[in-house]
A and B are shown apart, each in its own frame.
Chain A
Amino acid sequence: MLNLEYMWGLLPVLLSYLPLTLQMATIAMVFALILACLLAVVRVSRVPVLNGLSLLFISFFRGTPLLVQLFLFYYGLPQVISSLIAITGVTAAVLGLTLHFSAYMAESIRAAIVGIDRSQTEAALSIGMTQSQLMRRIILPQATRVATPTLMNYFIDMIKATSLAFTLGVTELMGATQKEAAGSFLYLEAFLLVALIYWVIVEMLSWGQRRLEIYLNKAYQR
């Protein structure tokens, strides 16, 4: 039988690590979004040289496992870049999550941009808008709407992926659970509880995602 009393007692302990988990995911999401937008715009506008570099970047970060990338940043790079010796597990995790997810997100943003019908681009140019005004005011707001469901999925994925930070010695939600479980030997209770916590957070986000989509779609109601 499950030791429910133990789980109940463990809940506040684990929840106290939740802020760190959410912080890592949120910061990584913000940077990943910015980077992904830049990559997508470079890809769409076919900026010479940068376009090639973006392709290489996207290919590498989609083509290798996140865990490998995290180890590379935390254990590997300090070997050649001495200033990285001081990199903390949290920083390495945020860096890894940012780069990894920006590669995926860049592709969905690019697809969303390409999907905006060409006549709006021409209309914006015809009234004298510059390329960057066109992007900021017409294309990106609409691409955001198209890409939002996918981007929210990546955010959800990212929250779960922060658990990998425990392999870099970070005591976040997963790391804390691991420690508690090792102390009490009640592995099933501890990991079941942490699974429930992740699940509830993801469900709450999905609810937010649906609300957001309704809001974003209000311009498109017939």
Chain B
Amino acid sequence: MISLQGITKHFGAHTVFKDIDLSLSQGEIIVIIGPSGTGKSTLLRCINFLEKPDAGRLQVGDLKVDTQRASRADILALRRRTAFVFQNYGLFANKTALDNISEGMIVVDKLPKAKAHARAREILERIGLADKADAYPASLSGGQQQRVGIGRAMAANADVILFDEPTSSLDPQWVEEVLGLMKQLAVERQTMIVVTHEMQFAREVADQVVFMDEGGIVEQAPPEELFTAPKDERTRHFLRKILAPTGQAVP
């Protein structure tokens, strides 16, 4: 169970978002959509303290954190229960695909090296890159790099994986393989929160779709409802703008 209560973030005088509440249960998949600059990524980054929230409480599993009183240990514990997939992959350039995946298991979870490598190989198998174990990030395609990024998140064995626009910096030819891997995780009921502009993915995979605009959650609903009968005019306007050019049905 993951919950956000009253999460607020300012950058200087500018309020990015205020009083965000969101919760999801084990195995649930939430996709957050909305116009650029409405704080979707920042919200995701607040969940594992890559950004420090300015107010609110977080709960991941049995770990409850008051964001204003979080100790260093709380933050590390929170990060161990959440895994992050970055828009720009963020792979460790000095480490092979295998080592990128096993690094956290060795350093953070203190697994013996042999065991961590064995698990990393299993993960490479699952993400379809068993033959790239010894390849360095620089020699991988964007799609392969992002799959390793997802593999690294899988290795963290976290309660939830946070995806921050995982396909936005990919060349179009690599988008499908990354979305495919995410769908596979969805089938395995991996709990995840995904910020994306891939509406088709949201429609297919999400249990709940959250529409954010102007620093707040405008509405939240199962995909069929949100995509066909949005309640708020802003949601309708956004969906029309983004869906019409792709030929998908608009509300």
Q: Enumerate chain B residues within 8 angstroms of A125, measured Cβ to Cβ.
A: 50, 79
List residues 82-125 of chain B with CB under 8 A from any CB of chain A: 82-84, 86, 88-96, 103-104, 107-108
Chain B residues at the A interface, C-beta cutoff of 8 Å: 48, 50, 76, 79-80, 82-84, 86, 88-96, 103-104, 107-108, 136, 138-139, 149, 152, 156
Instruction: State whether A119 and B76 are in contact (beta carbons under 8 Å apart), knowing that A126-B83, A221-B138 are contacts in the complex.
Output: no
Instruction: State whether A120 and B76 are in contact (beta carbons under 8 Å apart), knowing that A126-B83, A221-B139, A222-B138 are contacts in the complex.
Output: no
CA distance A137 to B93 in the complex (A): 11
Which residue of A120, A128, A221, A222 is within 8 Å of B92 (Cβ)? Answer: A120
List residues 100-132 of chain A with CB under 8 A from any CB of chain B: 119-120, 122-130
- How distant is A185 from chain B, measured CB to nearest CB, in Å? 56
Are A119's CB and B86's CB within 8 A?
A: yes
Instruction: State whether A138 and B92 are in contact (beta carbons under 8 Å apart), knowing that A123-B86, A129-B107 are contacts in the complex.
Output: yes
Q: Enumerate chain A residues within 8 angstroms of B79, measured Cβ to Cβ.
A: 125-128
Are A120's CB and B80's CB within 8 A?
A: no
Are A222's CB and B103's CB within 8 A?
A: no
- CB<8 Å pairs between A and B, sample of 11: A123-B92, A127-B83, A127-B104, A128-B80, A128-B108, A129-B107, A137-B107, A138-B92, A142-B93, A219-B94, A219-B138
Say yes or no for A141: interface residue by CB 8 A criterion: yes
- How distant is A114 from chain B, measured CB to nearest CB, in Å? 15
Q: Enumerate chain B residues within 8 angstroms of A133, measured Cβ to Cβ.
A: 107-108
Q: Enumerate chain B residues within 8 angstroms of A130, measured Cβ to Cβ.
A: 76
Say yes or no for A145: interface residue by CB 8 A criterion: yes
- How distant is B95 from chain A, measured CB to nearest CB, in Å? 8
- How distant is A64 from chain B, measured CB to nearest CB, in Å? 37
CA distance A126 to B107 in the complex (A): 13
Are B93's CB and A220's CB within 8 A?
A: yes
Please count how many residues in chain A sit with their CB below 8 Å of the partner chain's CB atoms.
22
Q: Enumerate chain A residues within 8 angstroms of B48, measured Cβ to Cβ.
A: 126
Q: Enumerate chain A residues within 8 angstroms of B108, measured Cβ to Cβ.
A: 127-129, 133
Q: Enumerate chain B residues within 8 angstroms of A137, measured Cβ to Cβ.
A: 103, 107
Which residue of B50, B88, B94, B136 is within 8 Å of A141 (Cβ)? Answer: B94
Task: Provide the A194-222 mask, 1 if CB < 8 A to any CB of B, else 0.
Answer: 00000000000000000000000011111
CA distance A142 to B92 in the complex (A): 9
Q: Enumerate chain A residues within 8 angstroms of B96, measured Cβ to Cβ.
A: 219
CA distance A120 to B137 in the complex (A): 12
Are B89's CB and A119's CB within 8 A?
A: yes
CA distance A127 to B80 in the complex (A): 6
Instruction: State whether A127 and B152 are in contact (beta carbons under 8 Å apart), knowing that A142-B94, A220-B136, A220-B138 are contacts in the complex.
Output: yes
Instruction: State whether A124 and B84 are in contact (beta carbons under 8 Å apart), knowing that A133-B107, A137-B103, A220-B136 are contacts in the complex.
Output: no
Which residue of B76, B89, B94, B136 is within 8 Å of A138 (Cβ)? Answer: B94
Are B107's CB and A123's CB within 8 A?
A: no
CA distance A130 to B80 in the complex (A): 11
CA distance A122 to B156 in the complex (A): 15
Are B104's CB and A129's CB within 8 A?
A: yes
* Smallest CB gap from A142: residue in B: B94
Are A219's CB and B93's CB within 8 A?
A: yes
Are B103's CB and A127's CB within 8 A?
A: yes
- How distant is B92 from chain A, measured CB to nearest CB, in Å? 5
